[in-house]
Structure 1
C-alpha cells in the first residue's frame, strides 16, 4: 500500500541517518527525513479517518489519484536508499514536486472525501424543521419554547456535521437520539387556540410536506390573519 511504502521509506531514512559517519551525509539524510516525515504523518491521519468512517458502514467513494504511480515511486526511492543512501541526496526524481506534493494532495483528497461522506450521512439520519415554519410557530406564544428546543437540537446536529468526529459511531448514536427527539416534538405539537387542522398542516409542513388538498380555506384564513401566509410555498413532489 502507498501508506505502508511511504512510512517504510521514512523509517529507513531515519535509520541510515543514524548510521552515517559523515556529518555532511547525515545532514542530507536528515533533510530528506524532515521532508518526508510530515507527509507520512498526514497520510496516516487521513487513512485513519477513512478507516473510522468506513467502519461505521458509511461508504466513501475515494480512490487515490496516482496511487499506483506514487506507490511505485516510494518503492523505487526505497531501493535507491538501500543501494546507496547518497542516492537520496540527488534522487532520480524531484522529491518535492513528484512525490511530496502529490502525497499531500492524496491525503487532502481523502480527508475531503471523508468529510463529504460524513455530512451526507448526517443529513440522511437527522431531522430538520424548515426555518420558515419555525419562524411561524415562534410567533405563537404556546409554541415558543418548543421552537427553541427544536432549534437547539438542529444546532447540535449541525455542529456534529461540521467535522469528522473522533468517534463516528458514538456521534451517529447521538445524532439518531437527537433526531428521535426532534420527531417526537413535531408529532406531539399542541397549543391552545390553534385549530387541529392547522396544527396537522404545520406539523406536516415541518416534516415531509403537506398535500395541497389539505390546505383548506380555514387554514388559509388562519395564516392570513396572523400574517404568516407568505412563509409557505407550493412545491411539486
Structure 2
C-alpha cells in the first residue's frame, strides 16, 4: 500500500539520521525526513477520510493516479536507503518533482473525490425548495415564519455539506431528520388563505416538481394576481 510504504520510508530515514555519526550526513537525512513527513501525514489523512466515508455507506470511486508506480518508487527509495543512507541524500531521482509532489497530488485528489461524494450524498438525502418560490411565499404575511424556518433548515444542510464531518453516519441521520421536517412543513402549507389546489401546486414545486395537469386555471389566476407566474418554468421530466 502506498501509504504504508511511504510511512515506512519516513520512519527509516529518521532512524538512520539518528544513527549517523557525521553531523552533516545526519542533517541531510533529517532534511529528507522533514520533507517526507508532511506528505505521509497528508496521505494518512486522505486515507482516513476515504475510510470513514465508505464506512458510512457512501460510495467513493478512487484509484490513486500512478499509485503502483509511486508505491514501487517508495520501495526503491527504501531499498536504496538501507543499502547506503547517502543514496537518499543524493537520490537517483528528483525527489520533489518525481515523488513528493506526486504523492501530494494523490492526497489532494483523494480529499477532493471524498468531498464530492459527500456533497452528492447530502443532496440525495435532503430537500430543497426553490428560492423563487420561497420569496413568493415570504410576501404572504402568514407564511413568513414558515419560509424563515425552511431557510434555516436549508442553511443547516448547506453547512453540513461544506466539509466532510468527523462522523458522516451521524451527520447523515441529522440530514434525514431535517429532510423529514422540511417535507412536513411543505405538506402543511395550507394556511394563510391559499386555496388547496394552489397549496398543492406550490408544495409539489418545492419537492419533486408539479405535473402540468396540476397547473389549473385557478392556480394560474392566483399566481397571475400576485405577479408570480414568471417564477415558474415547464420542464420535461
Alignment-derived partner of residue 146 in structure 2: 146
Alignment-derived partner of residue 184 in structure 1: 184
Q: CA deviation at 1:192?
A: 3.3
Distance 2:12 2:118 in 1: 36
Per-residue CA deviation, residues 29-69 of structure 1 (Å, 9 max, x unaligned), is 01100111110011011111011101111111110010000
Distance 1:56 1:115 in 2: 14
Alignment-derived partner of residue 119 in structure 2: 119
1:87 aligns with 2:94: no
Distance 2:192 2:159 in 1: 34
Distance 1:193 1:110 in 2: 52
Moved over 6 A (4+): none
Alignment of 1:170-209 (within 5 A): 170-209=170-209
Q: CA deviation at 1:144?
A: 0.8
Distance 1:211 1:48 in 2: 45
Alignment length, in residue pairs? Answer: 237
Distance 1:121 1:193 in 2: 37
The SS at the match of 2:209 is coil
Distance 2:233 2:8 in 1: 60
Distance 2:209 2:89 in 1: 66
Does the aligned pair in 1 maintain the 2:140–2:192 contact within 8 Å?
Answer: no
Per-residue CA deviation, residues 129-176 of structure 1 (Å, 9 max, x unaligned), is 011111111111111100100000001001110111111111111111
Distance 1:49 1:5 in 2: 19
**TM-score, normalisation: structure 1:** 0.98
**TM-score, normalisation: structure 2:** 0.98
Q: Which moved more, 1:226-235 or 1:106-115?
A: 226-235
Unaligned stretches of 5+ residues in structure 1: none
The SS at the match of 1:31 is helix
Per-residue CA deviation, residues 198-227 of structure 1 (Å, 9 max, x unaligned), is 111111111111111111111111111111
Alignment-derived partner of residue 77 in structure 2: 77
Alignment-derived partner of residue 52 in structure 1: 52
Distance 2:121 2:40 in 1: 29
Alignment of 1:101-112 (within 5 A): 101-112=101-112
Unaligned stretches of 5+ residues in structure 2: none
Alignment of 1:158-177 (within 5 A): 158-177=158-177
Distance 2:110 2:234 in 1: 40
Does the aligned pair in 1 maintain the 2:143–2:192 contact within 8 Å?
Answer: no
